[in-house]
Amino acid sequence: MTTVTDPARPVVKETSGPPAGRRRGSFGFNTVSPREKVVRYLLLVFVLLITIGPFLWQLSTSLKGSGEDIYTRIPKLLPAQPTFDHYKAVTDTIPVWDYARNSLVVAVLVVGGNVLGASLAGFALSRLQFRGRKLVLGLFLATLVLPGEVTIISQYVTVREFGLANTLFGVALPGMIGALNVLLMYNAFRSLPIEVDQAAIVDGANAWQRLVYIGLPSVRGTISVVAIFAFIGAWDDFLWPLIVLTDPDKYTLTVGLQYLSGTFSNNPRLIAAGTMIAFIPIVIVFATLQRFFFKGVEEGAVKG
């Protein structure tokens, strides 16, 4: 049987599959050469040394005994005579737990203010239509340009006029609503489908119901990001509590730890122990909220 081909139609040769040596994925993005793997791991180790290295060194220094030399030419990360005596010495020297309680009060006020205030402001800017909305959004963006040191004098005058000087609430007040946190919540709410709001409006839902039942459940990851950033900022703040507080009994932990640098300036082990005491609560908060923290970049999906 002969096959008749049309001379006006081009002949197309059929192939059963990709040619040898050109299988799928042979030179795709999923294939990594051994040299590239080595470079990636070296970069990861380098980043870990920069970020985690100082904390590990502080932890090692705080656990080293008094007889160990911490200034050796070849640094030793593992202590030869580990001890917790330096932590006990810190608690005996300064009222660490009182300072930690004051810091916790300030951090709770700041976190609560940012979660509530930034959520309300972000929802209003992204979902509600009102006159001057773009102007308000531009003002929030403009505040990010100014460093905190520029407005610190005006903040202190405001807090003093309100009668909140030398109080923990006066320490927490300026940071209870951060412009960056408002913009984070604005972006999270803005990424939600507008059709969901329109359907809720048709069903008779008001703005508060749309916020509580639709908006907030969908942006829990961003709320965790705001909470973590607010807690770290309030817990680690040193300059503002030092300006506002004059009573040593109301000092926060970061301000109270300055006594260690003056009293035990020749013993870096105690200073390292105080630093680790201030750092441990941040690790606890991040470990608690990390699964929500990493979901913050995936906001926008509406759960049914």
For residue 176, tell me if it sits in a domain. yes
Residue 277, domain member (yes or no): yes
pLDDT in tens, 99-147: 999 999 999 999 999 999 999 999 998 888 888 888 888 888 888 887 7
Looking at residue 119, its pLDDT comes to: 92
Q: For residue range 206-219, what is the model confidence (pLDDT) as tens digits?
A: 888 888 888 888 88
Q: Taking 60 as the threshold, does the pLDDT of residue 202 lie above it? A: yes
Q: In the structure, what pLDDT confidence band is assigned to residue 79 with cuts at 50, 70 and 90?
A: confident
Quick one: CA torsion of 178, 179, 180, 183, rounded to 10 degrees? Answer: 130
Residue 6 lies in a domain: no
Q: What is the pTM of this model?
A: 0.76
pLDDT tens figures, 150-185: 888 889 999 999 999 999 999 999 999 888 899 999
pLDDT band at 22 (very low <50, low <70, confident <90, very high): very low
User: What local confidence, expressed as pLDDT, does residue 30 receive?
Assistant: 58
More confident residue, 210 or 73: 210
Residue 55 pLDDT more than 50?
yes
Q: Is residue 9 part of a domain?
A: no
Residues whose CB falls within 8 Å of the CB of residue 200, separated by 6 or more in sequence, listed in order: 209, 210, 213, 214
Considering the domain boundaries, does residue 252 fall inside one? yes
The reported pLDDT for the residue numbered 1 is 47
Q: Are 62 and 193 found together in one domain?
A: no
User: How much is the pLDDT for 167?
Assistant: 93
pLDDT for 298 equals 55
The total number of structural domains in the chain stands at: 2
**Residue 125 belongs to domain with CATH number:** 1.10.3720.10
Residue 160 lies in a domain: yes
Q: Which residue range is the domain that position 149 belongs to?
A: 89-298
In terms of domains, do 53 and 148 share one? no
Q: Tell whether 69 and 150 lie within a shared domain.
A: no
pLDDT band at 231 (very low <50, low <70, confident <90, very high): very high
pLDDT at 8 over 60: no
Tokens (6 digits) for 120: 């309300």
Q: Any residues with CB less than 8 A from the CB of 99 and at least 6 apart, and which? A: 251, 252, 253, 255, 256, 257
pLDDT greater than 80 at residue 239: yes
Compute CA 177 distance to the chain's CA centroid, rounded to the nearest angstrom: 15
Let me know whether 101 and 79 are in one domain.
Answer: no
Q: Which of 56, 67, 90, 61 is nearest to 269 (CA)?
A: 61
59 falls within a domain: yes
pLDDT at 302: 43
Does 229 share its domain with 280? yes
